[in-house]
Amino acid sequence: MQARELDAIDERILELLTKDGRVSASEAGRQVGLSAAAAKRRIDRLEQAGYIRGYTAILDHRKLGGDLEAFSELRFAPGTQVDDIDAAVADLPELVESFTLAGDPDALIRVRVADVDHLKQVIDRIRRGRRGGARIIGTKTLIVLASSTGAAGVRVGGEPERALMPRGSRRSRRD
C-alpha cells in the first residue's frame, strides 16, 4: 500500500491513532462510520503496510527527573562524514533526538537532563575530543522554556473539510 492508496477513512484512522494511540477499533469505527471489525481490519492493514510503525506512551518527564530540555547545535571538523556525525552522539543516554543537517551547523541534538548542572556535564562530554570517528569543534546550546505540539504532527493528508462524520450525522451550520 502506497500513500496514494490511502483513502479518506485510512487517513482519518491514522489521525485518530496519532492523537490517541489507545483509541479502540470500536471508537475509531464509530468516528469514521465503520463497524469495529472493519476498523480493526483497516488498522491491521495499516500496521502490516508499515504506515503504523508502533505505539508509544507520553511520559511526564518532570516526575521522572528529566525537568530540563535543550537543543545543542554541533559543528564538526571539516571532512567529517555524515555517518560519523550520526554515530557521534548515538551513545548519549540523555539524547532524545539527533538530526544531521545540510549547512551550518552540521547537527542538532535534543537532550533531556535533570538540571543545568547535568546539562553542563553532557555538553562537556560532547565537547571532549573525539566521539566515535568525528571531532566536534563547536557547540551552541539552547535551553527550552516551553514546548507544544502543532497540528502538523497529527494531520495525515487531505483537506480539513474531508474529516469524516459518523454515518447518519450531519454538520450544523456552526461546524
Over the chain (175 residues), what is each successive 10-residue block's mean pLDDT? 77 92 95 96 95 86 85 94 87 92 94 95 84 83 87 54 40 35
CATH class of the 3-57 domain in this structure: mainly alpha
pLDDT (0 to 100) of residue 161: 38
Place of cell 495525515: 156
- What is the DSSP code (8-state) at residue 98? E
pLDDT (0 to 100) of residue 164: 40
pLDDT (0 to 100) of residue 61: 78
pLDDT (0 to 100) of residue 150: 65
pLDDT (0 to 100) of residue 2: 53
Q: Which three cell numbers stand for residue 59?
A: 511520559
Cis peptide before 93 (omega within 30 of 0): no
Residues 125 and 117 sit within 8 Å (Cβ to Cβ): no
Residue ranges per domain, the chain?
Answer: 3-57, 68-143
pLDDT (0 to 100) of residue 134: 81
pLDDT (0 to 100) of residue 8: 93
pLDDT (0 to 100) of residue 115: 94
CA dihedral (146, 66, 15, 173) positive or negative: negative
Which pTM was predicted?
0.66
CATH class of the 68-143 domain in this structure: alpha beta
- What is the DSSP code (8-state) at residue 36? H
